[in-house]
Structure 1
Amino acid sequence: MFKNLLASVGIGAAKVDTKLFTNSVVPGETLEGEVYIRGGDVAQNIDDIYIKLATEYERETEDSTVTEECVLINYRLSERLSIEPKEEVVIPFSLVLPHEMPLTLGRTPVYIRTGLEIKSAINPRDRDYLEVRPHPLMQRVLQAVENLGFHLYKVDCEYTHHFSGTYPFVQEFEFRPNGKYRNTLDELEIIFLLKPDYLEVLLELDKRARGWKGLLEEVFDVDERYARLMVKQSDLYELDFEAVIDETIQRHIH
């Protein structure tokens, strides 16, 4: 009886630990691993075993900025399981990662939360962080923008209701110009919308104020220009990304 009481508050209770076969992934890939459950000092009934893939984004409120969690995948491994004292159970899993998941650049975390639901007890949990690398199409765009003289200075996930995406946020990549655009643009912002067969790239070009007209545009926040382009997997080695992005910028700032 005393051991049961201790287990209910987490002392001598079952433990959970997730082992990922790799923690470095690309959006759209498959993540594989195993969940290890080890029984504690007493037998326990586990009502639910779940894995959640999650990230965080910022939302502007009236007087502050708050950080909120977004669950990208909520996956149930098993509904009910009885585990004996010191018993070990291993459950393999395989998750297809969403194309819309953010990259772990800047301060953006992406992690796996594994948990056990045990009635009348503190539920054991485990957290494992992932490194999310750019998809090859994303990497080509980022490299092209850098080759055009821009440097990446900020990456964050922000709440938005403007896009009808799966999740309530977008990841913004903000660049500052060093090269030929340093006297034309204040900054360039990019949003990636990755799909299974293509990548959509949204560009926001913030023009540098020039004269009274430019100053008024900047004051009234109408100095931004928006552009959109789409690249396919077949473009990866055939398209001149630098030329396409350069031409897109030129077309929208004049």
Structure 2
Amino acid sequence: MEDALFKRMLGALGVGGPSVDTVLNDPHTHPGGPITGRVDLTGGSHDSSLEHVTLSLVTRVETAEGDVTGEFHRVTVSGPLHLAAGQELSIPFHFEVPWEAPVTAVHGRPLHGMVMGVRTEVSVDQAVDKGDLDPIQVEPLPVQHRILDALQQLGFAFQTADLEHGHIAGSPQTLPFYQEIEFRSAPQYAHAFASIELTFVTTPHAAEVILEFDGSHDTVHRYTVHHSSADTTDWPGQVDAWLQQAVHHRRHSGHHGSYGGHDDHDGGGMGGVLLGAAGGFAAGYVAEEVVEELFEEEED
């Protein structure tokens, strides 16, 4: 009786509880793409009652208060179950990442400043959450690839990328943050602007392309491109035309105004339209040191 009570007390403290290991079939995916694998559970020294097994996507976002590591997409892969002492159990899973998921790698090379992982949460005996965290890489969709490649072909040099907490008004954005990919200006455009920041807001059918020049919220040009156009468009020529429009507008406006545009083009800068405290991210704040350590290892 005392031994059983002691084991239950240790279990409440997380001692002798089950172990968790998440195995991904492939750590590479793309916006709207799948993540598949299994969660391997091994019972500890005593029986355990598991309330749920949940997977979430975790990343780092820049907020007004500083960088925050938190979850932005959550999927339950198992409800309550009983795990006997020493029992081994595998739970397969399959879920799709959001279409707006930020790009974290291009051509297999991680983007400096970007980190993302799949976090596994197992709620055990109403007390301790056992966890696991596995890094993943999100490669661009074809149309995103073409635009990124076109910028490099035109002579723009990638500098860094980050996630900004907020919302771009007028966009189909649903996540509480957006990605900015920064490039140093190509030599032929250096006289007009020193840098550009590229943002994709992606849906199943199209991607809104937002170009911000010299970090000024007042100089923003917006375009909508359809996924079906990935292989039917001269992307270096198209991107060059966008940039020529920006230079022309800056030259003739005499100030850093935003391009009015027409058809696919949506005018209006991001200045003054970023909504603070977009819901859903801060509430998913993850404080475990293991998250920070894993992200630091990924960046190294």
Matches within 5 A, 1:30-69: 30-61=34-65, 66-69=66-69
Corresponding residue for residue 135 of structure 1: 141
CA distance in 1, matches of 2:113, 2:156: 20
1:162 corresponds to: 168
Mapping for residues 201-212 of structure 1, pairs under 5 Å: 201-206=209-214
Q: How far apart are residue 244 of structure 1 and its match? A: 1.2
Match of 2:129 in 1: 123
The answer to whether the Cα contact below 8 Å between 2:167 and 2:178 also exists between their aligned partners in 1 is no
Deviations 1:199-253 (A, max 9, x none): 221111239xxxxxxxxxxxxx68x532122222232222011111111111122
Q: How big is the alpha-carbon RMSD for the aligned residues of Structure 1 and Structure 2?
A: 1.8
- Given the alignment of the two structures, is residue 113 of structure 1 paired with residue 119 of structure 2, yes or no? yes
Give distance in 2, aligned partners of 1:90 and 1:108: 31
3-state SS of the aligned residue for 1:28?
Answer: coil
User: Aligned to 1:147, which of 123, 129, 153?
Assistant: 153
Aligned residue in 1 for 2:238: 244
Q: What SS class does the counterpart of residue 249 from structure 1 fall into?
A: helix
Number of aligned pairs? 236
Instruction: Confirm or deny: 8 A CA contact 1:225 1:253 kept in the other structure.
Output: no
1:161, CA displacement in angstroms?
3.3
Q: How far apart, CA to CA, are the structure 2 residues paired with 1:127 and 1:28?
A: 21
The secondary structure found in structure 1 opposite 2:194 is strand
Aligned amino acid, residue 72 of structure 1:
F
Residues 87-131 of structure 1 show CA distances to partners (whole Å, capped at 9, x for unaligned) of 011111110111111122222221111111123532211111101
The 1-side partners of 2:232 and 2:127 are apart by: 58
User: Within 1, Cα distance between the matches of 2:25 and 2:51?
Assistant: 26
Write 1 or 2 for the structure with the bigger share of strand.
1
Which of 158, 166, 184 in structure 2 is aligned with 1:176? 184
- Give the whole-Å Cα distance in 2 for the aligned partners of 1:132 and 1:42: 39
Quote the Cα distance in structure 1 between the aligned partners of 2:244 and 2:73: 40
For the residues of structure 1 that align with 2:83 and 2:200, how far apart are their CA atoms? 45
Consecutive unaligned residues in structure 2, runs of 5 or more: 105-110, 249-300
* CA–CA separation in structure 2 for the residues paired with 1:203 and 1:107: 19
Q: Using the alignment, how far apart are the partners of 1:16 and 1:204 within structure 2?
A: 44
Distance in structure 1 (CA, Å) of the matches to 2:223 and 2:78 = 43
Q: 1:227 aligns with which of 221, 238, 249?
A: 221
Secondary structure of the structure 2 residue equivalent to 1:67 = strand
> What whole-Å deviation, never above 9, does each CA across 1:161-207 have from its counterpart, x for those lacking one?
33452122110011111321122211111101111112221111239
Deviates more, 1:238-247 or 1:111-120: 111-120
Q: Find the partner of 1:28 among 28, 32, 39.
A: 32
Gaps of 5+ in 1: 208-220
CA contact (8 A) 1:103 1:134 kept: yes
Measured in 1, the distance between the counterparts of 2:236 and 2:140 equals 18
CA gap of 1:122–1:84, structure 2 versus 1, over 3 A, is same
Q: In the alignment, residue 116 of structure 1 is paired with which amino acid?
A: V
For residues 174 and 86 of structure 1, do their structure 2 counterparts lie closer, same or farther at Cα, with a shift above 3 Å needed?
same
Q: Percent identity?
A: 30
Residue of structure 1 equivalent to 2:208: 200
Deviations 1:136-159 (A, max 9, x none): 111110110111111011111111
